[in-house]
């Protein structure tokens, strides 16, 4: 019996094939479907926050526009580009694994990691600006509770002061920043987890673990990475761009 098992392994088996799967294709497909089920739970998780955003924006339209206009549109747009480029390099990493080119695969993964870290770096710069402008909501930071300087109409424009549109109050602006930090913070946490997963992929691909038959992990991390990209594709216009047209 042991002998016949060994023979089956030699004929059909790939070293990465788990015993509960018929073949590599079934194994990979099961992994992909499992990842998609997880992503559905992620969609619902972020969906709840998008819902909160929609409700509060509808309640406090002027405050949301004022608060949004204070965000740095250039950094936001650059970060969108960085993330889209990282999604492209991730897709290329999957491609190079599928066609069995190890070196380009490693390069694509490393580029994805670098771009992911660049995104987090730019995000950190933005967070720091919000910190110096006293826009961190509530009392999250000891000694720097929420209290931005408000731009008065008779004074020269100051980029660090909050320009309140008619009908907006500071309390409502604070609500925007709770949602802003919850959503971008959760998104950044997903990026950090994604960067961690990429480090594993890079180590494994340097050990030559993946080939055209076995690349489930690269594919699955790719799905996760693209999902995080999609969340940002919605966050960028909803958080950064919603009030720009009022400024004219």
Partner 1 sequence: MSEHIVSVRVYITIFLALLVGTALTVAAAFFDFPWRLNTIVALTIAVAKATLVVLYFMHVRYSARLVWVIVASALFWMGILFAFTFSDYFTRHWLSTGY
What DSSP state is assigned to residue 142?
Answer: T
CB of 152 to partner 1, least distance (A): 25
Question: Segment near partner 1 (CB under 8 A), from 36-44, 118-126, 157-165, 186-194?
Answer: 36-44
Binding segment for partner 1 (CB under 8 A), chosen from 123-131, 179-187, 191-199, 240-248, is: 240-248
What distance in Å separates the CA atoms of residue 181 and residue 188, rounded to the nearest whole number?
Answer: 10
33 binds partner 1 (CB under 8 A): yes
Phi-psi region of 197 (alpha: psi -120 to 50; beta: other; left: phi over 0): alpha
Report in angstroms how near the CB of residue 164 gets to partner 1 at its nearest: 19
Burial class (CB in 10 A: 0-12, 13-18, 19+), 170: middle
Rounded CA-CA distance 75/68 in Å is 13
- How many whole angstroms separate alpha carbon 18 and alpha carbon 22? 9
Q: Does 233 sit near partner 1 (CB under 8 A)?
A: yes
Residue whose CB is less far from partner 1, 58 or 155: 58
The owner of tokens 């994805």 is 112
- Which span sits near partner 1 by CB under 8 A: 79-87, 110-118, 154-162, 202-210? 79-87
Burial class (CB in 10 A: 0-12, 13-18, 19+), 56: middle
- The rounded radius of gyration (Å) of the Cα atoms in the chain is 23
Beta bridge partners of 150: 162
C-beta of 77: minimal distance to partner 1 in Å? Answer: 5
Residue 118 tokens read as 């660049």
Stretch that binds partner 1, among 111-119, 129-137, 161-169, 221-229 (CB under 8 A): 221-229
Binding partner 1 (rule: CB under 8 A), the pick from 1, 11, 44, 157 is 44
Residues interacting with partner 1, by CB under 8 A? 24-25, 28-29, 32-33, 36-37, 39-40, 43-44, 47-48, 51, 54-55, 58, 73, 77, 80-81, 84-85, 87-88, 90-92, 95, 98-99, 212-213, 219, 222-223, 226-227, 229-230, 233-234, 236-238, 241-242, 244-246, 248
């Amino acid at each position: 019996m042991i002998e016949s098992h060994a023979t089956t392994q030699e004929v059909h088996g790939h070293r990465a094939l788990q015993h509960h799967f018929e073949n590599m294709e079934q194994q990979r497909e099961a992994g992909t479907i499992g990842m998609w089920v997880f992503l559905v739970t992620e969609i619902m998780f972020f969906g709840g926050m998008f819902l909160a955003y929609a409700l509060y924006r509808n309640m406090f339209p002027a405050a949301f526009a004022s608060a949004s206009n204070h965000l740095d549109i250039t950094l936001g747009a650059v970060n969108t580009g960085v993330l889209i480029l990282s999604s492209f390099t991730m897709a290329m990493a999957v491609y190079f694994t599928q066609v069995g080119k190890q070196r380009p695969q490693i390069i694509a993964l490393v580029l994805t990691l670098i771009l992911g870290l660049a995104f987090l770096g730019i995000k950190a710069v933005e967070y720091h600006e919000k910190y110096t402008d006293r826009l961190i909501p509530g009392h999250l930071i000891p000694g720097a509770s929420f209290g931005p300087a408000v731009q008065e109409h008779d004074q020269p424009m100051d980029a660090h002061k909050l320009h309140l549109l008619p009908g907006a109050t500071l309390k409502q602006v604070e609500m925007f920043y709770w949602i802003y930090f919850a959503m971008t913070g959760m998104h950044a946490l997903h990026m950090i987890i994604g960067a961690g997963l990429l480090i594993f992929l890079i180590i494994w691909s340097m050990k030559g673990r993946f080939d055209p038959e076995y690349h489930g992990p690269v594919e699955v991390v790719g799905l996760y990475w693209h999902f995080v990209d999609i969340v940002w594709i919605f966050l960028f216009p909803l958080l950064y761009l919603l009030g720009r047209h009022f400024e004219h």
